[in-house]
Chains A and B, each alone.
Chain A
Amino acid sequence: MGALARRRRRRIVGLLVLLGLAALACLASIAIGSKPIALDAVWHGLTAPTDTENDIIVRSLRIPRTELALLAGAALGVAGALIQGHTRNPLADPGLLGVTSGAAFAVVVGIFAFGLTSLYGYVWLAFLGAVLTTGLVFLLGAAGRGGPTPLTLALAGAAVSALMVGLISAMAVIDQQSLEAFRFWRVGAVAGRDPVIIGQVLPFLAVGLVLALANAPGLNALSLGEDVARSIGQHVLRTRVLGLVAITLLTGGAVAACGPIGFVGLVVPHVARYVTGPDHRWLLPYAGLIGAVLLLVADIIGRVIAWPGELQVGIVLALIGAPVFVAIVRRKRLVRL
């Protein structure tokens, strides 16, 4: 099977290239900003920091921000590939099961009812909202005979999300303070986050990533249909629950830390699938790396185009990423789910 071995080698090389790109993007992300820092100074700050101004910027601003972009991008890319694999729906994004709207709802309730103002407080609230909402969606989607199917999960997710968004709008319309906080949280950003936040969400993201990779073989089996999956020995419900937990941890962690960055989870899996085909054991790592690089590059672009100000990463992603994505869709024939 020469062709199989060749394809395997090509995929490994691809992963290495992506890793290299990620490393380059990290360096650029540390160097570029409202105060540009020369590469030797970046190196100095990374390896032997002595509290120069540059070192402080590097260590307390640029590095946390870079880490956050990498983590959130990888988490959202992987979560997107998982949700599209489970639902076999190209329109599915990691927020489909209510994670994003649940997080947003919890944050707005916090502001509206308890006058919460700190980003620090948002993190736990957002994460809690994400987990509770996904749990609700799963219960609804699994209710009745036959257990959870992709269709009932997706519809239950859409319905619950709609309910949350409706309630958010109601609170924002009634209370100006909620609107004021919400409209800035909503666009999604990795800048200005407390480094503590990274430590808070990191365990969830790490567990989520491990569970996601463990879900890959099962997802491969499920992509042949539930009957075939069961026939080749895959426990369908267990696979779905595992996937759902992974999606919730990854998306919940990313949204809690950065706000709802929508574009990555929706679009990156399509691009990754074009490279790897339908094998989730390759698709998931590719989606993670592409997501990380994309988010990081978008964040860098956001610092450059509005220099010395900044444009939030969520906006840059969509405004630049969407046209690029459409161009890819037009040029290549993307692999269907």
Chain B
Amino acid sequence: MTPRLRAEELRLGYGDSLVVDGLDLDVVGGTITAVIGPNGCGKSTLLRAMGRLLAPRGGQVLLDGKRIDKMPTREVARLLGVLPQSPQAPEGLTVADLVARGRHPHQAWYRQWSSDDHAAIDEALAMTGMTDLADRTLDELSGGQRQRAWISMALAQGTELLLLDEPTTYLDLAHQVDVLDLVQRLHGELGRTVVMVLHDLNLAARYADRLVALRAGKMVAQGRPHEVLTEDLLREVFDLEAKVIDDPVAGTPLVVPVGTRHRT
């Protein structure tokens, strides 16, 4: 299958430091890919570059075979949505306002509003279960609700590709599962292609079709969860001693860290 989104020989950095050095990655349409790795390994940087929020130092990102940095911003925004980690909204913005702003790439100065916009917003709100909260302002919401509102905005954007940077940050376990179930439904019911950065390895294994493991800006492994999440790899990527067993619920790999207390 040809990849929807592809990174070739990608070199990324901020200021004088190089964060990602020579990375290749293919994202096949209709899959959920989770990027994992220790703090500071370049996960978010990679995601930002794939979503053309960061210009590469070297290499290129291709969207449907075209160089993403050569495409008009608006055209990219109709194909690919990015949700940064903990985004900020101005005070007093309602959920409906926020979701409506997802329609931005479909609007022009002469056409500010259409029935398509209305339908897309209603659908996005319904999908995320935010319809009843549409008139609330974002500052009134709980962390989990706020995250769903932002995902709702990305959904209203109507892109086939979604890049999510740690969509579960600051959420408790129940709400993490809640958000990831939502991602699963976007994939299952709407056929969206999702790339997300996740911290929790067990949730990543359970929800993603493919895992990509990074360490120090290099790809260490990629493939199906069973192929990637091995005890050797955890040692190599995270310096973590752990047992990997089968998840009793989903059958996906389950990482059980050893820790010093139980080291034998």
A232 near B90 with CB under 8 A, answer no
Binary per-residue interface labels of chain A (202-241) against chain B in the complex, 1 for a CB within 8 Å, 0 otherwise: 0000000000001001001101110110111111000000
Query: Given the complex of chains A and B, what is the CA–CA distance between A233 and B71 in angstroms?
Result: 11
Interface status of B142 (Cβ within 8 A of chain A)? no
Instruction: Give chain A nearest CB distance to B47 CB in angstroms.
Output: 10
Interface status of B155 (Cβ within 8 A of chain A)? no
Q: Which residues of A contact B77 (CB under 8 A)?
A: 231-234
B90 near A227 with CB under 8 A, answer no
Give the one of A88, A217, A224 with max B CB within 10 A. A224
Chain B contact residues (Cβ within 8 angstroms of A): what range?
35 or more
A228 near B84 with CB under 8 A, answer yes
Q: Which residues of B contact A1 (CB under 8 A)?
A: 96, 118, 122, 134
Query: Given the complex of chains A and B, what is the CA–CA distance between A1 and B120 in angstroms?
Result: 13
Say which residue of A217, A225, A277, A335 sits within 8 Å of B88 (CB atoms). Answer: A225
Q: A235 with B73: in contact, given A217-B104, A217-B112 (CB under 8 Å)? A: yes
Q: Which residues of A contact B157 (CB under 8 A)?
A: 232
Residue of B with least CB distance to A231: B82
Query: Given the complex of chains A and B, what is the CA–CA distance between A235 and B87 in angstroms?
Result: 18
Binary per-residue interface labels of chain B (86-98) against chain A in the complex, 1 for a CB within 8 Å, 0 otherwise: 0111111110111
Instruction: Give chain B nearest CB distance to A335 CB in angstroms.
Output: 4
Interface status of B192 (Cβ within 8 A of chain A)? no
Residue of A with least CB distance to B163: A231
B101 near A233 with CB under 8 A, answer no
A232 near B96 with CB under 8 A, answer no
> Which residues of A in the span 1-43 have a Cβ within 8 Å of any Cβ on B?
1, 3-4
Give the one of A88, A217, A228, A231 with max B CB within 10 A. A231
Q: A336 with B90: in contact, given A221-B104, A233-B77 (CB under 8 Å)? A: yes
Instruction: Give chain B nearest CB distance to A144 CB in angstroms.
Output: 10
A230 near B101 with CB under 8 A, answer no
Instruction: Give chain A nearest CB distance to B55 CB in angstroms.
Output: 10
Query: Given the complex of chains A and B, what is the CA–CA distance between A314 and B92 in angstroms?
Result: 31
B105 near A233 with CB under 8 A, answer yes
Interface status of B78 (Cβ within 8 A of chain A)? yes
Interface status of A183 (Cβ within 8 A of chain B)? no
> Which residues of B in the span 58-96 have a Cβ within 8 Å of any Cβ on A?
73-78, 81-84, 87-94, 96
Number of A positions contacting B (CB below 8 A)? 28
Query: Given the complex of chains A and B, what is the CA–CA distance between A281 and B104 in angstroms?
Result: 13
Q: Which residues of A contact B87 (CB under 8 A)?
A: 224-225, 227-228
Q: Which residues of B contact A279 (CB under 8 A)?
A: 97
Query: Given the complex of chains A and B, what is the CA–CA distance between A49 and B122 in angstroms?
Result: 58
Instruction: Give chain A nearest CB distance to B57 CB in angstroms.
Output: 11
Interface status of B53 (Cβ within 8 A of chain A)? yes
Interface status of B48 (Cβ within 8 A of chain A)? yes
B112 near A232 with CB under 8 A, answer no
Q: Which residues of B contact A336 (CB under 8 A)?
A: 90-92
Q: A231 with B107: in contact, given A1-B96, A223-B90, A224-B88 (CB under 8 Å)? A: no
Interface status of B167 (Cβ within 8 A of chain A)? no
Query: Given the complex of chains A and B, what is the CA–CA distance between A211 and B83 in angstroms?
Result: 29
Give the one of A4, A223, A232, A336 with max B CB within 10 A. A232
Binary per-residue interface labels of chain A (75-88) against chain B in the complex, 1 for a CB within 8 Å, 0 otherwise: 00000000000001
Interface status of B15 (Cβ within 8 A of chain A)? yes
Give the one of A214, A228, A273, A335 with max B CB within 10 A. A228
A233 near B76 with CB under 8 A, answer yes
A277 near B105 with CB under 8 A, answer no
A227 near B104 with CB under 8 A, answer no
Q: Which residues of B contact A88 (CB under 8 A)?
A: 90
Q: A231 with B53: in contact, given A214-B109, A217-B104, A278-B93 (CB under 8 Å)? A: yes
Q: Assuming A221-B101, A337-B90, A337-B91, what are 4 further A-B pairs, CB within 8 angstroms?
A: A234-B73, A279-B97, A281-B112, A336-B91
A-B contact pairs, 15 of them (CB 8 A): A1-B122, A88-B90, A217-B107, A217-B109, A220-B101, A221-B104, A223-B90, A225-B84, A227-B82, A231-B83, A232-B101, A232-B102, A232-B153, A278-B91, A336-B92
